[in-house]
Chains A and B, each alone.
Chain A
Amino acid sequence: MNVNGVDHPAPTDPRRLLSDHIRHDIGLTGTHVGCEHGVCGCCTVLFDGAPVRSCLMLAIQAEGHQVTTIEGLAPDGAPLHPVQQAFHETHGLQCGFCTPGFVMSVVGLLKQNPDPTPEEIDEGISGNLCRCTGYASIRRAVLRAAELSR
């Protein structure tokens, strides 16, 4: 599979979750695991460009596919991705644990819908859980990201 533009060998354990493979075999620990049952959205990555929950996929299912993780949005030295920049500007994160998942979901949402209404934002991002921010600043982050991406 190709992760952030780099090819990686297939996992040896057929049971290996994609989330664990990314974190512990490839060593990209920015993708977090919050529930391992597909509700919290912390482990969201882009799978051929679309957001998926990497805890609900086996790593071998990603063979031959492109995976983008949070580390792939702004590789070392590059300026922040507009969505990352927007989260920073709007105080869209507190403890930061859910943040990579939110950022990836927002990247996916804006790709599909570059100019979402507040209702579309709520609908589009309601698959990610945050216990710190109360979501107000994340709503603002999505609007700001849309603005920065124009």
Chain B
Amino acid sequence: MAVSQLVGAKIHRREDPRLITGHGRYTDDLTRTGLVHLAVVRSPHAHARIKSIGVEAAKKSPGVLGVFTAQDFKDIIAGPATHPVAPVFAPDKKVNPPRYPIAREEVCYQGEPVAVVVAEQRYQAADAAQLVDVEYDPLPAVMEIEEAMKPGSPKAHTDQPDNIAWDATYVPWEATEEAFKTADVVVKQRILQRRLSPNAIESRVVMAEYDPFDKRLTMWMSTQNPHWIRLFVSGALGMGEHSVRVVSHDVGGGFGSKISPYPEDYLVPAVSKLVERPVKWTETRTEAVQNAYAGRGQIYDVEASAKKDGTLLGMRVTQLLDCGAYIGTFGAFQTCACLLAGGAYKWKAISSRSIGVLTNKITTDPYRGAGRPEATHVAERMIDLLAVELKMDPVELRRKNFPAKEEFPFTQNFGLVMDSGDYNASLDKALKLFGYDQMRREQAEARKQGKLVGIGLSTWIEICGLGPGAVTGPATGGVVLSESAQVKVHPAGGVSIYVGTHNHGQGNDTTHAQIAADALGVPIEQIDIRHGDTNEGPGFGYGTYGSRTLAVGGVAINRACAKVVEKGKKVAAHILEAAEEDIVFDQGKFHVKGAPDKSKAFGEVAFAAYGQLPAGLEQGLEAVAYFEPPNFVWPFGAHICAVEVDAETGNAQITKYVAVDDCGNIINPMIVDGQLHGGIAQSIGQALYEEMVYDQDGQLRSATFLDYTIPSMNEIPNIQLDRTITPSPTNELGVKGIGEAGTIAATAAIINAICDAVSPLGIKHVDMPATPDRLWNQIKEARK
């Protein structure tokens, strides 16, 4: 067995030097000979009928090669299949409006493409786009979830029966009757999850070059999953996947917003086909805030019950989910919150229901955490509300209802099997690090002086590592979310590894090499990790999202390496003149059992693998592995936050933040900490600052970085991290995911702390974002 040398080590990232020196290859950095530029003419209305589109003035504008509308794409882009809607966890869609990359008669959200202009230069395309004269007949826009649900409400699409996209009950209300009837305490709360804009700092960019002679298409783009895009685009353009290549070298952040296909993913290659020139489209920031698939956008109505001694009984959850104008490709994924709302606790019974609602806004789709931050927020808020009613310390109530370490694998209320956990261990460590008892004493003192200080916990859990075929097959409508890796060992011993996951900041080029270096026993410098080019590697890659890259993709690498070692043993047996079963592989060397001196180095075996071999043994030293995980993985942890609310300004200041997280075995602690810091910061953004604000006509009022306020360094406090390690039994590396953990955990800790801070005023609940304005008004009301 190889001695582990690199797994677990803090290895500095190999991708850094090119990125730090300005030599990254983001899509907008690339060009092609003869490149022309595309600008999109978008609807300024949230809902309108298109009366006419005048293109003549734009066509005459300097540098313009063409102006195209829906009519021009009719024979080039196949219909609504361009925006497939996965069944996910709400397979029975009642209203599922067909979506085309470019509007036909009716526009249903602000920013929906109406026409595209292609010109020699980007500025020329932008100028000409202003000259496209679109005449609209405005229609009533439906903007609020509950308005849209009312009978007789204006409809998001005039040709659909109503606005109800789905209505799915996971467990009916009767199942929780007993749990509420026998309860000593019942709490009810409405909890809001506002719409968020993902805002990766690199906006989306698509460049396409159609070669009319070979009938091949190459696309360079900013995406989290190039193979999926190839599947969608090749289908829509009537091309075989073998004729389409999707390349995404460096990608400037994704956060879920670069998973599903977008209109431009079709329009740009189609225009390249029309004008027979390479075409590039670079999204502006306002386009990104307005039209990147939004996150969250949900209302939760929740009831929870418990016995006097703190034993949890029942929970009832209704999720109202704002789908936007069209259901997102993975939009119904966020209904997973209905299956996870019980959080880390043992409940007698949980009922839940999700209603998806169409409105005249951009589509919602997965955004970092997708359904799991919402579930955590519901669970953790309800626990705190119960603790207040029961007059119990929120720590005590949590502990009383955790499944014990020995109870894992633990089957939760919806039949999902939580693979491993030790929830008390992470909580204990967090309490100690935070100095919980001392902080509570200080809080009592501060309250005597009239200060609004609070402490909040979030003992979060997460389901990730998408995922086992039994669940992901039906959820995607047929594709199982396994992951692929190909390992090629070249004759001189260099190793190229092609992965189906994608690196857009997660450090995979480094962590994947660490796994392979240990598995093959070769120096890390000898290993090249490649991603983001569908012309390389296995037939399909499933991409990076849902904290799956390590727990699924990493395991695929490990298994492909194991296959290479097995082949290496056959070759070594030949050159060492021994029986294959007597060959031992250890630390990069193949030796004969009991005779470690009789050995061949990895490189020697690689070279021999391409030489003369006995009959029946093929040349070559390479392998492909697909890994379909038998279960999900379940990270967990405990976050504790202290805040002080200024009653005069409404400003909530985080004064202390501690996070103890457990993602199983760790490949590189530096990367894990980086993911947590980033995730927590994004969660602070949601808890305190971020919200997509629309007016009643559907105009986005927060369409720039001045109005949609993502946190800067000034807004992020010092965060203390620590960890526990509970290996996952789901895979042989014992790993779980960590990419979304911070975002899943933190809003609850922050809002619980704020609610605790303002509780002396009689305020029971505060919604996100807890902006100074919102808090100040709530405090003012409470003091009346």
A7-43 residues with Cβ-Cβ distance < 8 A to B are: 13, 15-16, 20, 23-24, 28-37, 39-40, 42
Chain A: interface residue total (CB-CB under 8 A): 57
The answer to whether B285 and A36 have CB atoms under 8 Å apart is: yes
Instruction: Tell me, yes or no, whether B95 is within 8 Å of chain A by CB.
Output: no
0/1 string, A82-101, CB within 8 A of B gives 1: 00100111010111111110
Q: Contacts A95-B200, A135-B681 given: A30-B674 contact, CB under 8 Å?
A: no
- The residues of B that contact A40 with a CB separation of less than 8 Å are 201, 285, 705
In the assembled complex, the Cα of A32 lies from the Cα of B20 at a distance in Å of 12
Stretch at the interface among B395-403, B592-600, B707-715: B707-715
Q: Contacts A93-B20, A97-B252, A133-B678 given: A37-B507 contact, CB under 8 Å?
A: no
Q: Contacts A126-B714, A134-B680 given: A98-B21 contact, CB under 8 Å?
A: no
The residue on A at minimum CB distance from B252 is: A97
- The residues of B that contact A63 with a CB separation of less than 8 Å are none
Instruction: Tell me, yes or no, whether A2 is within 8 Å of chain B by CB.
Output: no
The answer to whether B712 and A91 have CB atoms under 8 Å apart is: no
0/1 string, B680-691, CB within 8 A of A gives 1: 111000000000
0/1 string, A59-70, CB within 8 A of B gives 1: 000000000011
Instruction: Tell me, yes or no, whether A150 is within 8 Å of chain B by CB.
Output: no
The answer to whether A96 and B24 have CB atoms under 8 Å apart is: yes
The answer to whether A97 and B202 have CB atoms under 8 Å apart is: yes
The answer to whether A88 and B12 have CB atoms under 8 Å apart is: yes
The answer to whether A96 and B21 have CB atoms under 8 Å apart is: no
Q: Contacts A122-B714, A131-B201, A135-B677 given: A96-B250 contact, CB under 8 Å?
A: yes
Min C-beta distance of B50 to chain A, whole Å: 28
The answer to whether B22 and A30 have CB atoms under 8 Å apart is: yes
Partner of B22, one of A24, A28, A35: A28
In the assembled complex, the Cα of A32 lies from the Cα of B202 at a distance in Å of 8
- The residues of B that contact A148 with a CB separation of less than 8 Å are none
- The residues of A that contact B122 with a CB separation of less than 8 Å are 20
Partner of A32, one of B15, B26, B710: B26
B161-193 residues with Cβ-Cβ distance < 8 A to A are: none
The answer to whether B202 and A95 have CB atoms under 8 Å apart is: yes
Min C-beta distance of B359 to chain A, whole Å: 26
In the assembled complex, the Cα of A30 lies from the Cα of B23 at a distance in Å of 6
The answer to whether A30 and B712 have CB atoms under 8 Å apart is: no
Min C-beta distance of A110 to chain B, whole Å: 15
Instruction: Tell me, yes or no, whether B372 is within 8 Å of chain A by CB.
Output: no
The residue on A at minimum CB distance from B199 is: A131
B673-729 residues with Cβ-Cβ distance < 8 A to A are: 673-674, 676-682, 704-706, 710, 712-714, 716, 718-719
In the assembled complex, the Cα of A124 lies from the Cα of B670 at a distance in Å of 25
- The residues of B that contact A122 with a CB separation of less than 8 Å are 713-714
- The residues of A that contact B31 with a CB separation of less than 8 Å are 24
Min C-beta distance of B379 to chain A, whole Å: 24
The answer to whether B674 and A94 have CB atoms under 8 Å apart is: yes
- The residues of A that contact B23 with a CB separation of less than 8 Å are 30, 71
Min C-beta distance of B244 to chain A, whole Å: 25
- The residues of B that contact A87 with a CB separation of less than 8 Å are 16, 20
In the assembled complex, the Cα of A32 lies from the Cα of B681 at a distance in Å of 22
In the assembled complex, the Cα of A98 lies from the Cα of B678 at a distance in Å of 14
Min C-beta distance of B321 to chain A, whole Å: 24
The answer to whether A35 and B674 have CB atoms under 8 Å apart is: no
In the assembled complex, the Cα of A136 lies from the Cα of B123 at a distance in Å of 38
Q: Contacts A84-B20, A87-B16 given: A29-B203 contact, CB under 8 Å?
A: no
The answer to whether A130 and B201 have CB atoms under 8 Å apart is: yes
The answer to whether A134 and B677 have CB atoms under 8 Å apart is: yes
Instruction: Tell me, yes or no, whether A129 is within 8 Å of chain B by CB.
Output: yes
The answer to whether B706 and A91 have CB atoms under 8 Å apart is: no
The answer to whether B712 and A95 have CB atoms under 8 Å apart is: no
The answer to whether A29 and B22 have CB atoms under 8 Å apart is: yes
Q: Contacts A37-B285, A39-B704 given: A80-B21 contact, CB under 8 Å?
A: yes
Instruction: Tell me, yes or no, whether B331 is within 8 Å of chain A by CB.
Output: no
Instruction: Tell me, yes or no, whether B17 is within 8 Å of chain A by CB.
Output: yes
Partner of A94, one of B20, B507, B716: B507
Min C-beta distance of A120 to chain B, whole Å: 11
In the assembled complex, the Cα of A6 lies from the Cα of B21 at a distance in Å of 18
- The residues of A that contact B26 with a CB separation of less than 8 Å are 29, 32, 97
Min C-beta distance of B553 to chain A, whole Å: 17
Min C-beta distance of B254 to chain A, whole Å: 8
- The residues of B that contact A34 with a CB separation of less than 8 Å are 201-203, 285
Instruction: Tell me, yes or no, whether B506 is within 8 Å of chain A by CB.
Output: yes
The answer to whether B28 and A33 have CB atoms under 8 Å apart is: yes
In the assembled complex, the Cα of A97 lies from the Cα of B29 at a distance in Å of 11
Instruction: Tell me, yes or no, whether B57 is within 8 Å of chain A by CB.
Output: no
A93-150 residues with Cβ-Cβ distance < 8 A to B are: 93-100, 103, 121-123, 125-139
The answer to whether A91 and B671 have CB atoms under 8 Å apart is: yes
Q: Contacts A37-B285, A39-B704, A88-B16 given: A131-B712 contact, CB under 8 Å?
A: no
In the assembled complex, the Cα of A26 lies from the Cα of B677 at a distance in Å of 36
The answer to whether B22 and A91 have CB atoms under 8 Å apart is: no
In the assembled complex, the Cα of A19 lies from the Cα of B586 at a distance in Å of 53
Min C-beta distance of A11 to chain B, whole Å: 12
The residue on A at minimum CB distance from B680 is: A134
The answer to whether A133 and B704 have CB atoms under 8 Å apart is: no
In the assembled complex, the Cα of A75 lies from the Cα of B653 at a distance in Å of 43
In the assembled complex, the Cα of A133 lies from the Cα of B505 at a distance in Å of 9
In the assembled complex, the Cα of A130 lies from the Cα of B674 at a distance in Å of 12
The answer to whether B201 and A89 have CB atoms under 8 Å apart is: no
In the assembled complex, the Cα of A16 lies from the Cα of B124 at a distance in Å of 11
Q: Contacts A94-B507, A129-B705, A137-B677 given: A88-B22 contact, CB under 8 Å?
A: no
Partner of A99, one of B19, B284, B710: B19
The residue on B at minimum CB distance from A31 is: B22
The residue on A at minimum CB distance from B286 is: A37
The answer to whether A99 and B20 have CB atoms under 8 Å apart is: yes
The answer to whether B674 and A95 have CB atoms under 8 Å apart is: no
Partner of A35, one of B21, B252, B285, B680: B285
- The residues of A that contact B19 with a CB separation of less than 8 Å are 93, 96, 99
- The residues of A that contact B505 with a CB separation of less than 8 Å are 94-96, 132
- The residues of B that contact A39 with a CB separation of less than 8 Å are 704-706
- The residues of A that contact B21 with a CB separation of less than 8 Å are 30, 70-71, 73-74, 80, 84
The answer to whether A100 and B202 have CB atoms under 8 Å apart is: no
- The residues of B that contact A74 with a CB separation of less than 8 Å are 21
Residues on B facing A (Cβ under 8 Å): 12-13, 15-17, 19-24, 26, 28-29, 31, 122-123, 199-203, 250-253, 255, 284-285, 504-507, 670-671, 673-674, 676-682, 704-706, 710, 712-714, 716, 718-719, 742
- A-B contact list, 14 entries, CB within 8 Å: A30-B24, A32-B252, A40-B285, A70-B22, A91-B674, A93-B19, A94-B506, A95-B200, A96-B252, A96-B505, A98-B201, A99-B19, A130-B201, A136-B718
Q: Told that A93-B19, A94-B505, A94-B674 touch, could you supply 16 new A-B pairs with CB distance under 8 A?
A: A20-B122, A24-B31, A29-B28, A30-B22, A40-B201, A71-B22, A88-B12, A89-B12, A95-B505, A129-B710, A130-B201, A132-B505, A133-B678, A134-B677, A134-B679, A134-B682
The 7 A-B pairs of least Cβ separation, nearest first, read: A30-B22, A97-B252, A96-B19, A95-B505, A134-B681, A134-B677, A94-B505
